[in-house]
């Protein structure tokens, strides 16, 4: 593309592209908290594949995002996920503080398989992953939850952390989980890979 067709940063084509992406993101995420989180992650990565851990500033995130945020260490090779920093909204819904605890000690069964798989996908592909599904804790409660997982890096090469922003709703969840991955500048539906976590599937 050359001459007047090139979409430079301030060109009408570039602005239209940003508007289209924002509209698409709002349609997919469907929640203002998650949209703000995606905007923040996009801003601090500053054109790189993903932000560095040091780019993440809790003061910059503020009270609109921090209670809904979860910072995790992710070791793809070992298949481990450990909760490093946990927002207050998680403690309220999990019924306890899960700071410093491995994901395998918090979740079990198909729910562990589902969430663990999302973490691995996020960090293997170094891409944001959105999911909308049921949330079930060992007290037998059934909630609806939407989560956005976004990769972070300590060294600028490997995705060894993830920031998760998650909201909970006291409503009936979808029968099948909805999962989308952000790649090549757009959201792609990969829900069919997660049909095993249907609403009537056993969790524990």
Provide the phi-psi class of 125: left if phi over 0, else alpha when psi is between -120 and 50, else beta. Answer: alpha
Q: How confident is the model at residue 10 (pLDDT cuts 50, 70, 90)?
A: low
| C-beta of residue 125 within 8 angstroms of C-beta of residue 17 | no
Q: How much is the pTM? A: 0.86
Phi and psi angles of residue 185, each rounded to the nearest 5 degrees, phi first:
80, 15
Q: What percent of the chain is predicted at pLDDT more than 90?
A: 61
| pLDDT at 69 > cutoff 90 | yes
pLDDT (0 to 100) of residue 19 = 76
Instruction: Give me the mean pLDDT over the 113-141 stretch.
Output: 87
pLDDT (0 to 100) of residue 92 = 81
State pLDDT tens for residues 34-67: 999 999 999 999 999 999 999 999 999 999 999 9
pLDDT (0 to 100) of residue 11 = 59
Instruction: For the chain, give every domain's residue range.
Output: 10-197
State pLDDT tens for residues 139-198: 556 678 999 999 999 999 999 999 999 998 877 777 789 999 999 999 999 999 988 876
Instruction: Give me the mean pLDDT over the 16-33 stretch.
Output: 82
Which CATH code for domain 10-197? 3.30.450.20
| C-beta of residue 144 within 8 angstroms of C-beta of residue 168 | yes
């Amino acid at each position: 593309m050359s001459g007047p067709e090139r979409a430079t940063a301030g060109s009408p084509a570039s602005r239209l592209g940003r508007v289209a992406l924002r509209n698409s993101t709002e349609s997919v995420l469907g929640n203002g908290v998650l949209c703000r989180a995606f905007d923040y992650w996009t801003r601090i990565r500053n054109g790189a594949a993903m932000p560095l851990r040091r780019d993440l500033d809790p003061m910059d995130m503020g009270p609109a995002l921090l209670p809904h945020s979860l910072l995790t260490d992710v070791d793809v090779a070992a298949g481990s996920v450990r909760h490093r920093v946990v927002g207050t909204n998680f403690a309220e819904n999990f019924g306890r503080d899960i700071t410093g605890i491995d994901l395998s000690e918090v979740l079990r069964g198909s729910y562990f398989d589902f969430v663990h798989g999302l973490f691995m996908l996020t960090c293997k592909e170094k891409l944001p992953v959105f999911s909308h599904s049921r949330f079930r804790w060992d007290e037998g409660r059934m909630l609806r939850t939407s989560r956005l997982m976004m990769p972070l890096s300590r060294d600028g090469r490997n995705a060894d952390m993830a920031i998760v922003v998650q909201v909970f709703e006291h409503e009936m969840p979808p029968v099948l989980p909805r999962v989308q991955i952000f790649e090549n500048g757009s959201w792609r539906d990969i829900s069919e890979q997660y049909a095993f976590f249907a609403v009537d599937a056993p969790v524990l």
